[in-house]
Structure 1
Amino acid sequence: MFFNSLTFAVFLPIVFVLYWFVFNKTKSSQNLLLILASYYFYSCWDWRFLFLLVFSTFLDYYTGIQIEKNHNKKIRKFWFWLSIAINLGLLGLFKYYNFFASSFATLLDDFGLKTSPFLLDVVLPVGISFYTFHGLSYVIDIYYKRIKAEYNFVDYSLFVSYFPLLVAGPIERATHLLPQVKLKRTFDYTKAKQGAYQFIWGLVKKVVVADTCATYANAIFDNYSSMNSWSLVLGAVYFSFQIYGDFSGYSDMALGMSKLFGMDLLRNFNYPYFSRDIAEFWRRWHISLSSWFRDYLYIPLGGSKGSKIRQVRNVFIIFVVSGFWHGANWTYLAWGCINALYFLPLLLLNKNRSNIEMVALQWDVASAKEMLHMVYTFALACLAWIFFRAKSITDAVLYLKRMFTQASFSSQYLSNERYNYELLGILLLFVVVEWNNRFKEEPLSGKNSWLKVALAIAAIIALGTYSDYKEFIYFQF
């Protein structure tokens, strides 16, 4: 069930009405309804994997209590590592087993040893990377005594399975969401209106920007061997806007609909394409994942302390793991390594914390320099996205080779192109709207909000009618 589907357009209002008008007496009844709605939502993908979600929920709930109850360090450590091992084991089994088995068999074949690896004939459970990280952060925080274990199974279950964030985040922390889950919510019209506006803006990003760009990005990447430089540059730019509109659009919809139920989720995107360097980009892109790796991997490894060699090691570990988190393909590892290389000069020159606040330009030389830095950072991101989007390392390298050697900048027509120049106009308008609203969480609130909402809905209907795409890119992770 996609957020941008007619089925969900029926599902969400029903849950909303039941939540505020039928199950609104107590916090427990509100939470129970949301759990039932979340389990139904998840079962619409594949009901068999619902048992995996319930098992993962019970595992971390039980081990969290055992870690808190026991004062013996060895027993605490046993339950801690048991939870870590099972969580990562299940994630590895479903997501990475076939990749490692096939890669190892290919390596043996290169040495003349023919093998027939045993591969699992299973699909990847949707959202497993996200709800696994929810549980892991919860158990880790209990082990290090940052939080107390949650004894109410219903409350903990909602924290893990809450349907707005279940399949593609943001990756929530128990310190942020559980306190909200444990309180009875009362209807707040202002908050609900803000949520509706943010949901609609997320839908604009998905339907108007991401799905439209997908038509051209897919056509160019699938036919890159016959494309000239200009077309390949456009392909990289189109995919950059596609993945941003797709994923940040999902996050906006998740945050918006959660406000409809009286709860706030962690912000996941903060206008990353207006970043002035790669370090700032990663503070603004997929914030919940970046901060998760920072708090639970980078800092425990030593972070930015110690020698430069150790700092470089930690940066590469973070980016390689981040790349591998996205999927079992060498292209994701390459993408992670490329971003680590981008980050390295900033680290060595101690400039990785230079740009903290959102850029505020004026008519002067310093602002012109910052604008050039933004364009440069966006170009670096586009080059890295080529590896993220390509089917293989070979395809990515050949794509880049043609982009820098087929120096023809004439327009090429693809058989399935629609309104190419109109799309460029849409993207330009989208950038202007985002730029003018970069200090806000979403652009539709404020003055003339009803007019802006009406125009947004009109754009969704106009382009959504002809959209060939429904799935969200990050559902595969």
Structure 2
Amino acid sequence: MLFNSFNFFVIFPLIFAVYWVVPSKYQIVKKWVLIAVSYLLYLNWKPIYALILLFITGVTFAGGKILQDEVDGEKKKRKLICIIGAVLTLLPLVVFKYYNFVNESCIRLLEACGIHFMLPGLNWAVPIGISFYTFQALGYMWDVYYGKIKAENCFTDYVLFCSFFPQTASGPISRYSELMPQIKTPHPFNYKQGVDGLKILLWGVFLKVVIADRLGIYVGNVYSNYIYYSGLNCLVASIFYTIQIYCDFAGYSLMAVGIGKCLGFDLVNNFRRPYLATSITDFWRRWHISLTRWLTAYVYIPLGGNRCSKFRQYCNIMLTFLVSGIWHGANWTFVLWGIVHGLLQCVEKILGIAPKGKYYELVESKIWLKPIRIVVTFFLIAFAWIFFRVPSISDAFGMIVKIMTNQGGMFQFIDNTIPVFLSLALLVGSELTEEYLYKDNRHGLLDNKYTIVRWALYVSLLTFILMYGVLDSTQFIYVSF
């Protein structure tokens, strides 16, 4: 059941009421209400999804306990336990998400060598959210291994940590140290927190159904038949997809944060105005923040991070983005997307314009350069998104050739032009206002001190959602990852 579906908005008030009607002193009951809801939602998708989630929860809980018991034991033994736990945790992800990809790639490679060998493919759908909750559970076990935290003793609390329904489908990927204290601490209903949650939820729905889904119709038409469209159409579609994927994923993340707040939980914000980034390095500090910090903590730093030679640093960056690309999807297009981002970060380091670089402070001091850097970064990101969106590498280069040569074809613009551009203007105005006026308050515009301004915004958002929203429960892009 998706957050933008009619069914969810019918059921959530019931969840909200049942959860808060239970007194805070019966904390264990409140936890089991959330666990029951989380697993019922997974059972609603497919029963096997719930079993996989429970399996990963059990493996990492047991792994953490064993690692804690062996904290003073032999390093080799602890390392072996950690490896076994990681392999078992990653096994469902590898089988469901990557088996067919690896199988097909091997078949093609063998056929190119004149060898005909075929293994049967699997017709199983990728379990919703498996990449997200697998990384969250794996991060917990590795934190126990590295001694950053102590293993959890309460299985009920850990089950809720892994299955908390606002975040299991598409994140954010929470750290144990962030979410578990909130699970363990009784919290009475907080009216202000609940209202804040509804505001954030409203903004997330607007981003998803009005902007992302409306742009998605045009983007889908062009990308599916790009050979029939003009180069200008392909360029417009690529720019629109850049906006679509942000509004789609940020919309989900905001809904998750908003729902969490309504239930008394503060989840991490996954985005910080990424398209106002002045470099690719800056972009990854603003985009999918919970994944970026996970990859930094468990891939980049263990590889050596910045504590090594320049060449090793570049290799570490490339390997980290290779993992990021593979995590996003079982297709060579995602691998190439990750490589493009890795190369762009390496170029920034080589040129000395990355943070701590030779010319970084000089470039940062030139205020007049900032708008230019934002625009250049935006178009570099839009270029990389082409690989992310297309079904094959040949299609990606076909789109790029179309754009670069401006080859002819039919030209078509987006339907409902005026409401779409008004929505985009509201988005841009909101991003700029939050970036330069509110800064530390991600949702400052919704908390404007003037009542008339706040309510004008609420009414505008609701009007746009009801009049121009695509209200047919379109799936979130990142749910498929």
Aligned to 1:367, the other structure's residue is in SS state coil
- Structure 1 position 114, deviation (Å): 2.1
- Corresponding residue of 1:413: 412
**Residues 313-363 of structure 1, C-alpha deviation per residue, up to 9 Å, x if partnerless?**
0000011110010010000001001111111122224432269xxxxxxxx
- Matching residue's letter, 2:84: L
TM-score for both structures, normalised by structure 1: 0.94
Q: Find the counterpart in structure 1 of residue 427 from structure 2.
A: 430
The residue type paired with residue 429 of structure 2 is V
Structure 1 runs (4+) greater than 4 angstroms displaced: 466-469
Amino acid at match of 1:413: Q
- For residue 305 of structure 1, give the secondary structure of its aligned residue in structure 2: coil
Unaligned runs of 5+ in 2: 358-364
* Corresponding residue of 1:451: 456
8 Å Cα contact 1:64-1:139 kept in structure 2: yes
Q: Distance in 2 between matches of 1:422 and 1:223?
A: 25
Helix, strand or coil for the counterpart of 1:299?
helix
| Equivalent residues of 1:212, 1:467 under 8 A apart | no
Q: How does 1:159-174 map to 2 (within 5 A)?
A: 159-174=161-176
Partner in structure 2 of residue 471 of structure 1: 475
Corresponding pairs, count: 464
Distance in 1 of aligned mates of 2:87 and 2:338: 24
- Work out the CA distance in 1 between the residues paired with 2:466 and 2:24: 33
- Measured after TM superposition, the shift of residue 23 of structure 1 is 5.3
- 8 A Cα contact 1:230 1:411, kept in partner: no
Residues 264/35 of structure 1: CA separation in 2 closer, same or farther (3 Å cut): same
Q: 1:8 to 1:455 in 2, by over 3 A?
A: same
Contact 2:5 2:472 survives alignment (8 Å): no
> Compared with structure 1, are the counterparts of its residues 257 and 422 closer, same or farther at alpha carbon in structure 2 (3 Å cutoff)?
closer
Q: Which moved more, 1:133-142 or 1:448-457?
A: 448-457
Change in 2 beyond 3 A, CA 1:351/1:389: same
Post-superposition CA distance 1:280-307 (Å, at most 9, x none): 0000000000100001110111101211
| Partner residue of 1:129 out of 118, 128, 131 | 131
CA contact under 8 A between 1:211 and 1:468: conserved in structure 2? Answer: no
Residues 198, 255 of structure 1: 8 Å contact kept = yes
| Residue identity opposite 2:433 in structure 1 | N
For 1:229 and 1:354, locate their aligned partners in 2 and report how far apart those are by CA, in whole Å.
Answer: 39
Between 308-317 and 115-124, the greater mean CA deviation after superposition = 115-124
Partners in 1 of 2:152 and 2:68 — Cα distance?
10
Aligned to 1:352: 354
Q: Distance in 2 between matches of 1:58 and 1:468?
A: 36
| Further displaced range: 21-30 or 191-200 | 21-30
Give ranges in structure 1 of 5+ residues lacking alignment: 356-364
2:462 and 2:421 mapped to 1: Cα distance? 20
Which residue matches 2:293? Answer: 291
Question: Does the CA contact (< 8 Å) of 1:180 and 1:263 recur in 2?
Answer: yes
Aligned pair partner of 1:106 in 95, 108, 111? 108
Q: CA contact under 8 A between 2:317 and 2:342: conserved in structure 1?
A: yes
**CA distance 1:411–1:197, shift in 2 (3 Å):** farther
How do 1:216-235 and structure 2 match up within 5 A? 216-235=218-237
Displacement of 1:119 in angstroms is 1.0
Q: How far, CA to CA, are the matches of 1:107 and 1:445 in structure 2?
A: 57
The AA in structure 1 aligned to 2:154 is N
Give the structure 1 partner of residue 4 of structure 2. 4
Question: Match of 2:285, SS?
Answer: helix
- What are the superposed Cα offsets for residues 100-126 of structure 1, whole Å, 9 maximum, x if unpaired? 011000111112222322211211011
Q: Is the 8 A contact 2:5 2:473 kept in 1?
A: no
1:188-242: per-residue Cα shift (whole Å, max 9, x none)?
1111111111111011110111001101111111111122221111010111111
- 1:49-106 Cα deviation digits (max 9, x unpaired): 2111111111111111111012322443332112101112221111101100110001
- Cα distance in 1 for residues equivalent to 2:179 and 2:407: 52
Question: Once the two structures are superposed, what CA deviation does each residue of 1:123-156 show, in whole Å capped at 9, x if it has no partner?
Answer: 1011111111111110001011110111111111
**Aligned equivalents of 1:429, 1:124: Cα separation in 2:** 35
Distance in 2, matches of 1:394 and 1:400, equals 10
Q: Distance in 1 between matches of 2:216 and 2:79?
A: 47
TM-score, scaled relative to structure 2: 0.93
